[in-house]
């Protein structure tokens, strides 16, 4: 609704959860939203008119962090991703879902180190992986930098950010037997997704679920990712000529595609899909499968990527070639995923002892 007696363009709307009235107005062509802090319509209208008067007088500008809600920063991040050619916003949007909840109604001016640290604690206490919570804060930090660049806020409005200890980095992985057990408890449409990710180490949301049949080259017997479609921008190939398990996954998915075309006249471009529809999210199916398989509930799909790195190295493939297959650009990240277990150490000691015994 329009506020009576207002100067400039502004409106009021009621938030159902809190019962408070919120106001919406424009500063320098940018839309601002903020709570009036009251459930009284008359008081809310008065505060809106006061804010519009400040805009007209030039005392409320785009550099006023008190007028910028944390939730308003998401479009800046999305535009930045689009400018850089990123195709998937799923993880960004999921991060901002939690950021909006954690900082609901909060203005940038009210952000502080203590609030950010409390957010990390609350997210990990709710079951989020420490690296997930850290990623969410990195997205928020990036958004604030973009807001400074856009002159929505000033540099002084960006608070100090907490950091996670290095020893809290995830080290989860799956053994082959774990994957076999997990696959048996997953819905049919997810089983080959997990098999494929466990073999290739490719990222499930952005590289596996988006894979289309024009990326499967039967003549050359390779699966490829085009340059510009991956996280680091580099193209990638994974041959399946001499990998019967990977070839079997693709054969099964191709048969499913052909059945949908023959029986239902549906053309499905995606290699992995749910009854012909692209798979967008499977969090609850994943959690349920972990419970039924009696596997640790903190395991996440990205642990399949770590597992593939470990398996490639243990099989004797050089780290250089392994990085080419999985798409890791730096040695530091690759080595972080190259997890050593007690069993690896035991095997190393046994090999060492055998060498000594041979004299």
The whole-angstrom separation of Cα 8 and Cα 18 is 27
pLDDT in tens, 114-168: 888 888 888 877 777 777 888 899 899 999 999 888 878 878 788 888 875 444 4
Placement of tokens 């190393």 in the chain: 348
pLDDT in tens, 60-101: 555 566 678 888 888 888 888 777 766 567 778 888 889 988
Please give the average per-residue pLDDT across 257-279, as a whole number.
Answer: 94
pTM of full prediction above 0.75: no
What is the predicted pLDDT for the residue at 157?
81
* Higher-confidence position of 346 and 232: 232
Sign of the dihedral defined by the CA atoms of residues 160, 66, 11, 9, in that order: negative
User: String of b and e for 179-211 (b: at least 16 CB within 10 Å)?
Assistant: bebbbebbeebbbbbbbbbbbbbbbbbbbbbbb
Supply 284's token pair: 């609850």
Sign of the dihedral defined by the CA atoms of residues 140, 142, 145, 147, in that order: negative
User: Are the beta carbons of 320 and 335 closer than 8 angstroms?
Assistant: no
């Amino acid at each position: 609704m329009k506020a009576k007696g207002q100067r400039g363009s502004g409106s009021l709307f009621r938030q159902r959860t809190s019962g408070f009235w919120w106001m919406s107005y424009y500063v320098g062509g940018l839309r601002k939203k903020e709570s009036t802090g009251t459930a009284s319509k008359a008081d809310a209208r008065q505060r809106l008119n006061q804010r519009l008067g400040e805009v007209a007088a030039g005392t409320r500008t785009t550099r006023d962090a008190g007028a910028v809600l944390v939730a308003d920063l998401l479009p800046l991040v999305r535009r930045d991703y689009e400018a850089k050619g990123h195709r998937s916003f799923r993880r960004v949007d999921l991060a901002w879902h939690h950021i909006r909840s954690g900082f609901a109604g909060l203005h940038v001016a009210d952000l502080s180190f203590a609030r950010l640290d409390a957010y990390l604690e609350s997210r990990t206490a709710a079951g989020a992986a420490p690296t997930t919570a850290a990623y969410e804060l990195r997205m928020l930090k990036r958004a604030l930098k973009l807001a400074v660049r856009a002159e929505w806020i000033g540099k002084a409005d960006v608070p100090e950010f907490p950091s996670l200890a290095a020893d809290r980095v995830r080290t989860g992985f799956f053994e082959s037997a774990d994957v076999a057990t997990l696959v048996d408890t997953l819905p049919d449409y997810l089983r080959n997704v997990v098999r494929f990710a466990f073999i290739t180490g490719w990222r499930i949301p952005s590289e596996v679920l988006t894979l289309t049949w024009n990326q499967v080259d039967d003549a050359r017997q390779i699966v490829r990712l085009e340059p510009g479609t991956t996280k680091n921008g580099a193209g990638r190939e994974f041959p399946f000529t001499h990998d019967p398990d990977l070839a079997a996954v693709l054969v099964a998915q191709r048969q499913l595609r052909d059945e949908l075309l023959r029986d239902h006249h549906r053309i499905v471009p995606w290699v992995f899909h749910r009854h012909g529809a692209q798979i967008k999210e499977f969090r609850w199916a994943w959690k349920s499968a972990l419970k039924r398989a009696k596997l640790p509930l903190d395991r996440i799909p990205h642990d399949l990527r770590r597992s593939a790195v470990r398996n490639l190295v243990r099989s004797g493939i050089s780290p250089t070639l392994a990085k080419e297959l999985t798409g890791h650009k730096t040695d530091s990240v690759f080595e972080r995923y190259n997890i050593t277990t007690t069993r690896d150490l035991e095997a190393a000691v046994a090999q060492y002892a055998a060498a000594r015994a041979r004299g």
